[in-house]
Amino acid sequence: MPEIIENFYSPIPKSVAHHYVKALSAPTLSNNIRGCSVVYGDMARLPLKVKTFIEESVVLCKPDKIHIVDGSEAENKLMLKALKEAGAIIPLPKYDNCWLARTNPADVARVESKTFICTENREEAICTPKAGVQGSLGNWISPKDYDDAIMKRFPGCMKGRTMFVVPFSMGPVGSPLSKIGVEITDSQYVVCSMKIMARMGAAVMDEILNKNVEFVKCLHSVGTPENGKIDVESWPCDPERVIILHKPALSEIVSYGSGYGGNSLLGKKCFALRIGSTIAQREGWLAEHMLILGVTCPNGTKKYIAAAFPSACGKTNLAMMTPTLPGYKIECVGDDIAWMKFDSHGQLRAINPENGFFGVAPGTSYETNPNAMATIVKDTLFTNVAMTSDGGVFWEGLEDTLDKDTKITDWLGNPWGLGVSKTPAAHPNSRFCSPAEHCPIIDPCWEDSEGVPISAILFGGRRPQGVPLVFESRNWEHGVFIGSAMRSETTAAAEFKGKMIMNDPFAMRPFFGYNFGNYLKHWLSMENRCTELGGNMPKIFHVNWFRKDQNGQFMWPGFGENSRVLDWISNRIDGVDCFEETPIGLIPSEGSLRIENLKSQINMKELFSIPKDFWLKEVADIQTYFDNQVGSDLPKEIQAQLNDLKTRVEKM
């Protein structure tokens, strides 16, 4: 056992310290890369490609030490201990192995404006907006600016820090649908979060070694401000110079300046969606911002449904729903990302490439999502939630759980009083990061390597006006159009200020890895692919839990009551004649949506009304959006769908 390990974390259990050495017949002593010592793990055991990636990163970032992550429990304990000692996480003794991290208040969400796709030609990465219009479907960066951006930020950025090497698999290790990445990071918070969010460690390194598979290179540093002054010691970052870079041609991700969620856990949005969507386009499958759930009907039949809602619009809640309709059962496969591929029979199959949930905390409660509440009391890393004096967590939506003696500390670390404080206790984008296996309704097939069969795809968003609770697309092409025309009220999951209705096609606006026009062509091409294999296409629906009445109140109770909508969708998948044609699609025919025993009176007429003036404006807005943002990249089939919708609405 090389003694250098001792001076990093001591004492260290022998069994953990040298996982890689164990498998070696002749351990080498060259645990040193370009003058930087490896304090955990063994270089000699690493695949050459990983070694090269580490060497390049060491030369660039100049860390003091290197730690090759093995993913063991004991290693994780040491990491959490070190984070606690550094004041970066606070234990939550009310639960089992749960922790709270408070970020720098300037680092609380994804930064879409600083997120770039790098390709030779701009048109590969993004659509060409109309002259004078600012594009909103991703940002392009040239190869030269990409290199410059790295050279302005990374040289020496890990001085005084340890560089962690995290091998991880998106999808179960060894599954034909899975893909591998290696994230190099100087954040222990990232390592601990990646342990929850992805399969990571020695088993993945073995996979790279034994199968010589390619991996996505992910380089991440929390950075240090140019003036060298770190604002919040326990959460170093460099908000001024944050940048998130993707180079699909090299399967490479480079992220600087933020420690937060989608900016730093590079397996998630950067890999599974942005790089993932480019791989999917090449290989003929779909990488989507979608939950996956299983729904079992009272007669025992089970179907799987995937659903795309923009960030903070209800994916986790739907994926873990407790149905109010008797005899129904919902099981969760995933809450954020789906990788979907047609099998040899033309059946669309989906895997959840993740291993955990990075869920929005506010609004999560025993009433709205008891399954999430049961998931997060063990092995969970919370970020920016409030804390209670008895060592628990608190956020908006949990008011009922407080007793009067409990004192609250808000997400910034200040005392907070219910009904007294004017600011929220938890940051609106505060999150829980929990292992999926702790979810009481995790689907028995959630790790099946061939994926689960998908019968329907749902699109949805926050639409306070005009958009009915549910409607079905007329066919696949119409469904793809519905996805392309999705709009939603902005939320706290990104850096936007204030509420406005924003286009968010396929809930993927911040996550496209390539030109949205080509993405649409790819979606349209799925129908041929499926038919050639002899399969049936999944049906496409649009749902809206967020319609409001004149008093600004939600018209539909949502959450578990959404099982009523799933019941109707399930009947439609079975071909039951329970629909009525409207200009925008098929809605439930009178009496076919089960509303018996709802706690409050619902104005069904209002909930399903399709106001002509609203839809005329909607059609015009979509046309403007396509003209301004997509231009000549828009497939003619999608324009034809919009024309047809316009004609139908005008005839109303």
Ligand X SMILES: Nc1nc2c(ncn2[C@@H]2O[C@H](COP(=O)(O)OP(=O)(O)OP(=O)(O)O)[C@@H](O)[C@H]2O)c(=O)[nH]1
The residues that are catalytic are 313
The answer to whether residue 271 forms part of the interface with ligand OAA (CB under 6 A) is no
Tokens 């030109």 sit on residue: 515
Q: Which of 41, 261, 585, 588 binds ligand OAA (CB under 6 A)?
A: 261
The pattern of x and - marking residues 331 through 350 that bind Mn ion according to CB under 5 A reads -----x--------------
Told to check if 262 binds ligand OAA by CB under 6 A, we report yes
Determine if 311 is a binding residue for ligand OAA (CB under 6 A): yes
Residue 155 has which token pair?
A: 């040289």
311 near Mn ion, rule: CB under 5 A: yes
Q: Does 314 bind ligand OAA (CB under 6 A)?
A: no
Q: How far is the CB of 551 from ligand X (least distance, A)?
A: 15
Residue 358 touching ligand OAA (CB under 6 A): yes
Q: Which listed range, 173-181, 225-233, 260-268, 444-452, lies at the site for ligand OAA (CB under 6 A)?
A: 260-268
We find the least distance from the C-beta atom of residue 170 to Mn ion, in angstroms, to be 15
Q: Give CA–CA dist 486/461, Å, rounded.
A: 7
Q: Whole-number minimum distance, CB 215 to Mn ion, in Å?
A: 23
488 touches ligand X (CB under 6 A): no
Give the binding-site size for ligand X (rule: CB under 6 A): 22
Nearer to ligand X, 96 or 367 (CB): 367
| Closer residue to Mn ion, CB minimum distance, 248 or 262 | 262
Asked if residue 269 binds ligand OAA (CB under 6 A), the reply is yes
Buried b (16+ CB within 10 A) or exposed e, 440-451: ebbbebbbeeeb
Task: Give the range of 237-245, 262-270, 457-465, 593-601 binding ligand OAA by CB under 6 A.
Answer: 262-270
The answer to the question of residue 359 lying near ligand X (CB under 6 A) is yes
Q: Least Å distance between CB 393 and ligand OAA?
A: 18
Which two tokens mark 388? 């209670």
From the list 4-12, 231-239, 250-258, 305-313, the region that binds ligand X by CB under 6 A is: 305-313
Alpha-helical regions (H) of 338-457: 370-375
Closest residue by beta carbon to Mn ion: 336
Residues in a beta bridge with 179: 170
Asked if 588 is part of the footprint of ligand OAA (rule: CB under 6 A), the reply reads: no
Buried b (16+ CB within 10 A) or exposed e, 469-481: bbbbbbebbbbbb
Which CA distances in Å does 356 have to 57, 73, 175, 335? 28, 16, 17, 9
The yes or no reply on residue 315 touching ligand X (CB under 6 A) is yes
Least Å from the CB of residue 646 to ligand X: 30
Over the range 206-241, which residues count as b (16 or more CB within 10 Å of their CB) and which as e? bbbbeeeeebbbbbbbbbbeeeeebeeebbbbbbeb
Among left, alpha and beta (phi > 0; psi -120 to 50; other), residue 35 is left
Task: Tell me, residue by residue from 320 to 339, as one string, x for binding to ligand OAA by CB under 6 A and - for no binding.
Answer: ----------------x---
Q: List 117's β-bridge partners, or say none.
A: 140, 246
**Which amino acid is residue 397, in one-letter code?**
G
Q: Say which entry of Mn ion, ligand X, ligand OAA, none residue 545 contacts (CB below 5 to 8 A, set by partner kind).
A: ligand X
Span of 140-148, 311-319, 372-380, 412-420 interacting with Mn ion by CB under 5 A: 311-319
In this structure, the strands spanning 162-170 and 65-68 are: parallel
User: Can residue 288 be called a binding residue for Mn ion (CB under 5 A)?
Assistant: no
- Report whether 295 contacts 328 (CB < 8 A): yes
Which of 98, 158, 216, 313 contacts ligand X by CB under 6 A?
313
The strand pairing partners of 453, in sequence order, are 349
Instruction: For the CB of residue 261, give the shortest distance to ligand OAA in the complex, in Å.
Output: 3
Q: Is 311 in the site for ligand X (CB under 6 A)?
A: yes
The burial class, CB within 10 Å (0-12 / 13-18 / 19+), for 602 is middle
Query: What is the pattern of x (binds ligand OAA, CB under 6 A) and - over residues 88-117?
Result: ----------------------x-------
Identify which of residues 45 and 110 has a Cβ nearer to ligand OAA in the complex.
110
Write the interaction track for ligand OAA spanning residues 534-573; mark x where CB under 6 A is met and - where it is not.
----------------------------------------
CA dihedral 138, 143, 147, 152 (to 10 degrees): -50
Is there binding between residue 508 and ligand X (CB under 6 A)? no
CB–CB of 334/434 below 8 Å? no
Instruction: Kindly give, in sequence order, each residue whose CB lies less than 8 Å from that of residue 179, ignoring residues fewer than 6 positions away.
Output: 169, 170, 171, 215, 216, 271, 276, 279, 353
The option from ligand X, Mn ion, ligand OAA, none interacting with 262 (CB < 5 to 8 A, set by class) reads: ligand OAA
Q: Are 187 and 220 in contact (CB under 8 A)?
A: yes
Q: Shortest CA distance to 288 belongs to which of 300, 302, 264, 306?
A: 306
Residue type, 422: K
The least CB distance from residue 217 to ligand OAA, in Å, is 20
- Beta carbons within 8 Å of 169's beta carbon, 6+ residues apart: 178, 179, 180, 181, 198, 199, 200, 203, 204, 207
**Does residue 354 bind Mn ion (CB under 5 A)?**
no
Binding mask 477-496 for ligand OAA (x = CB under 6 A): ----------------x---
C-alpha count within 13 angstroms, C-beta hemisphere, residue 329: 13
Measure Cα distances from 478 to 486, 528, 542, 550, 629 in Å. Answer: 12, 15, 11, 31, 20
| Least distance in angstroms from the C-beta of 318 to ligand X | 7
Residue 263 touches Mn ion, criterion: CB under 5 A: no
Pairing of strands 65-68, 36-40: parallel
Q: Which is nearer to ligand OAA, 12 or 337 (CB)?
A: 337
Residues 523-552 that bind ligand X (CB under 6 A): 545-546
- Say how many C-beta atoms besides its own lie within 10 A of residue 142's C-beta: 14
Binding region for ligand X (CB under 6 A): 309, 311-317, 335-336, 359-360, 362-363, 368, 493, 545-546, 554, 558-559, 562
Binding region for Mn ion (CB under 5 A): 311, 336
Binding region for ligand OAA (CB under 6 A): 110, 261-262, 268-269, 311, 336, 358, 493
